[in-house]
Structure 1
């Protein structure tokens, strides 16, 4: 056994004695197949992030992006004189392990245990050692590169001075009237974008336009808490997609990963580019939100010039940031763009559940369908206009296309 592996194994043994969990990694190693490493480390990452979540969604996306971009860089080129599979398995595990132990330190014991199990299944020797070194190097370099990138929770939620009330201008929304969130995203450091404003959207529909009137009428009717026109199926869709996009898209990405035939390097690329695009999309989203500061439907309907109704309430509480564009829409557009480009527009049926709709299971065969439901859901929740949702999808797709265009540069080993 290599010296590096010996140190890891001893640490895991100590943790296992304390937790009573010694036998599980051994059994896992005995049944691990050569092509399962990416899926296993996807699950390790998902568990670690879920067990020690950051307070902001983009910070959690950043953890994924750093670990898996390092893995993609480390596995992309295989040096001469080593076994390709052994090297890539060690490199992928090493890169994600290094990132997670720094970015989710409370989960270090569990991550170390998984790492020891992966290394135990790889024959000792040059291939493993060089893979471990490559993964550690790429992760360490990327962690240093991304230090102080403005994606920590405090920076993301930098204080926002509420503007004076005026028609169309965002104001804190009921019931909590909470301070604005995600204001700091607009100055965070992107992974791929040239600037945070590179894909800034044009202004939303003017307040005196027919499109704005139609948007508001739709939300007023279908998004009200006491709506008489929203169907049970529409209410279910709103409830299903009410939760975090970060959480809801973890399973679709895992489905694409498990069905990928691109090998370890291709699998690492899929996960890396998905989350790189997600981070940059969330940065671009805040740029447009706070450039336009469009008021939310609840404010427009209660105080606006078109048939004001001070008693109107949405089905779901409105998040504390401007309407345009929809963050759920941008996330969906970005996810759809990457998944379509790297795994095809359609896939075999897969099931999806939602923590905000207990007992509901939906079946999908295309990534586009997820986006379409997100657009409808935010209207039927009463928290976005359709224009904001559709603009969000377009913005996310634009960022995804750009990230994919730059993938050669992004994935090049440092």
Structure 2
């Protein structure tokens, strides 16, 4: 299980309810059915309805930048969490969830308005008419409008995120555009965006990467050279499969992971809403922190390092998978994974109540099944090495950075859930 300070854990217990969290972390599969039955089951259905609507809207009409889509999730579900605190009525809370998420999606993913309108109509039809329904719906819409206004100009739009990066002159250790596309750097402007809860983008900046020529640097590079090469004979088929499975967008890969936690949670509509909200708040802040660190260190990618190595350079070396267009340190896939694991571990428990299965956008038709939130992180670390696109030091630093940012989210969550 992850190590974590008692302070964010206590905050999480307060947020979700001590009894519910204890049931989640301690109860086995046999106990789960009795806990989930009744109102919790109905709450889960309502939350999953809007979870799936959010995922579908963003998949069909979302932004081209991952962090912008994380922002949409964070705004919609944070607004829903805020709106639900106005009443303990289950009808009010379900209507508030519907009003907040619908209002947010119509504003932030306008091409999908008709689809989310249909979800709203069907969801509200299942609720009894009356003051609780009307007030909850109005509260959700108002909370969404306020939060959208609050986040206006936060620098998380696609154009701001991908601000032009002035490539530095070539030098040992310094990032340069990579083959085969030699594309311009991405996510440079992300570091200047306004976080939700970080005090600054550099708050948890990791320690520097291993120095060029150091034993750790040479070991990292040798590992990628051997196991990450396009034509590697050392990499096994299982390793290649892992690299390919985790190559796709972390945002897409972790959407079904979070859904599994939401579906299996025995808690209320409000608690499940908070889980989704804090997950994406943490991931927005993590992506801001990741870009700050990447462009602070501007570390060259393995393909550049191997081709220009001081000892035994290989000018023709290519990785198994194309290298993304931004610096090596830290690994963005692993910051995402570390943050996701920390949020799910603290707010749900270290293990899923039941095994969950996820697909991959980069391995069509392939699925993998997990029983906890930690194994995906371990696979992500290996995968980026075996893809030939990150050093292990960058991967491990990414996990630590993601955990740090997520812990900060949990520690300061009360500032958002007002």
Q: Where does 1:214-229 land on structure 2 (aligned, <5 Å)?
A: 214-229=219-234
Give 1:352 deviation, angstroms: 1.6
Give 1:308 deviation, angstroms: 0.5
- 1:242-295 deviations in Å (ceiling 9; x for gaps): 000000000010000001112000000000000000000000000000000000
What TM-score, normalized by structure 2, do the two folds share? 0.89
Residue aligning to 2:79:
70
Q: Where does 1:3-402 land on structure 2 (aligned, <5 Å)?
A: 33=42, 35-78=44-87, 84-347=89-352, 348-402=354-408
CA distance in 2, matches of 1:165, 1:129: 62
Give 1:137 deviation, angstroms: 1.3
Give 1:198 deviation, angstroms: 0.7
CA contact (8 A) 2:83 2:97 kept: yes
RMSD: 1.0
SS in structure 2 at match of 1:249: helix
CA contact (8 A) 2:285 2:405 kept: yes
More off after superposition, 283-292 vs 297-306? 297-306
SS in structure 2 at match of 1:351: strand
CA distance in 1, matches of 2:311, 2:110: 52
Give 1:35 deviation, angstroms: 4.2
CA contact (8 A) 2:298 2:329 kept: yes
CA contact (8 A) 2:79 2:147 kept: yes
CA distance in 2, matches of 1:94, 1:387: 44
Where structure 2 has 5 or more consecutive residues not aligned to the other structure, the ranges are 1-40
CA contact (8 A) 2:44 2:262 kept: no
- 1:163-197 deviations in Å (ceiling 9; x for gaps): 01110000000011111000000000001111111
Give 1:409 deviation, angstroms: 1.3
CA distance in 1, matches of 2:129, 2:365: 47
Give 1:33 deviation, angstroms: 4.2
Cα separation, partners in 2 of 1:358 and 1:34, compared to 1, 3 Å: closer
SS in structure 2 at match of 1:364: strand
CA distance in 1, matches of 2:43, 2:249: 33
What TM-score, normalized by structure 1, do the two folds share? 0.90
CA distance in 2, matches of 1:150, 1:142: 15
CA distance in 2, matches of 1:267, 1:404: 15
Give 1:78 deviation, angstroms: 1.2
Give 1:304 deviation, angstroms: 2.2
CA distance in 1, matches of 2:244, 2:372: 20
CA distance in 1, matches of 2:318, 2:358: 29
Structure number, greater radius of gyration: 1
Cα separation, partners in 2 of 1:315 and 1:124, compared to 1, 3 Å: same
Where structure 1 has 5 or more consecutive residues not aligned to the other structure, the ranges are 1-31
CA distance in 2, matches of 1:248, 1:291: 27
Give 1:358 deviation, angstroms: 2.2
SS in structure 2 at match of 1:112: helix
More off after superposition, 85-94 vs 352-361? 352-361
CA distance in 1, matches of 2:51, 2:368: 22
Size of the alignment, in residue pairs? 377
Residue aligning to 1:22:
none
